[in-house]
Amino acid sequence: MPYVMAWIEGKGGGNTPAHPVAGKAMRELTQIVRDFIDEDRAAGRPPATDYMESLFATGFLYVDRKRNR
């Protein structure tokens, strides 16, 4: 999560310039996720898109869990 947080906080927008750590955090996060995807494929596990599709279909999202809805 620190990678995602650093990317979101540092990516800038509007009149706010990007922080140099934002791009580095996203590149590192992307590599970590690519490694997970490769491991999942090699192990024959279903893609994360299938899991997320079923999660979204139920309406059971992170925000809902956090707010105890």
- pLDDT by residue for the chain (69 residues), tens digit each? 899 999 999 998 878 888 999 999 999 999 999 999 999 999 999 999 998 888 888 876 666 555 554
pLDDT, position 14: 78
Alpha-carbon distance of 18 to 23, in angstroms, equals 9
The pLDDT assigned to 34 comes to 97
The structure tokens listed for 43 are 């192990």
pTM equals 0.70
pLDDT at position 64: 56
> What is the structure's pLDDT at 42?
98
